[in-house]
Amino acid sequence: MPLLDGDRLVEDRFARVADDEPLPKGAALVSIDRLRREGAALAGRNAPLGVALPPDTNPAALKPWLPRLALVALSLPKHRDGRAFTQARALREYHGYTGEIRATGHVIPDQYAALLRCGFTTVAVPDDADATVWTRMRDTIPLAYQPATTGDGGANLLRRRVSLAPRG
């Protein structure tokens, strides 16, 4: 499955590894259960490590391993399930995570702008996905009302700036 990274599709370098499978030499994506069981051994690997965090798990559970994690994959089981948005924002704002946050599962192009604003960096998309559709949806409505992890202010901030600007 390709990844949408900004405006382009890229290959996924992480191999998703089941709990009972041996780890590959390269980048590996493991479950939170495996990370909890084998955390010390996994943290000592000389390869990028990622974890899949289910929507019902508090991101604070990753705190001991966050400095070592290159990827946190968050799942959206349905397009209307917003828990992953909250998890991503918590990882960025409360836990200071700076690595890749990936959206997986049932993600639709309409959500792309909101995903980026909440702190996601990549989106797992179907093999036949067209990056131009996703970027067009991202750019359709450039104004947002809430503040974001991307550093841009919401519409209320824009209104406040305009109302305080000198008139003349």
Provide the 3-class DSSP secondary structure of residue 139.
helix
Domain segments of the chain as ranges: 3-164
pTM recorded for the entire structure: 0.84
Kind plus residue range of the DSSP H or E element containing 75? strand 69-76
Bridging pattern class, strands 28-31 and 49-53: parallel
What is the Cα gyration radius of the chain? 18
Is 123 within 8 Å of 134 (Cβ atoms)?
yes
- Which one of 3.30.70, 2.60.40, 3.40.50, 3.20.20 gives the CATH number of domain 3-164? 3.20.20
Ordered per-residue pLDDT tens for the chain, 168 residues: 899 998 899 999 999 999 999 999 999 999 999 999 999 889 889 999 999 999 999 999 999 999 999 999 999 998 788 999 999 999 999 999 999 999 999 999 989 988 998 999 999 998 888 888 888 888 886 655 566 555 565 545 555 555 556 665
Between the CA of residue 14 and those of 45, 144, 149, 158, what are the distances in Å? 14, 32, 25, 40
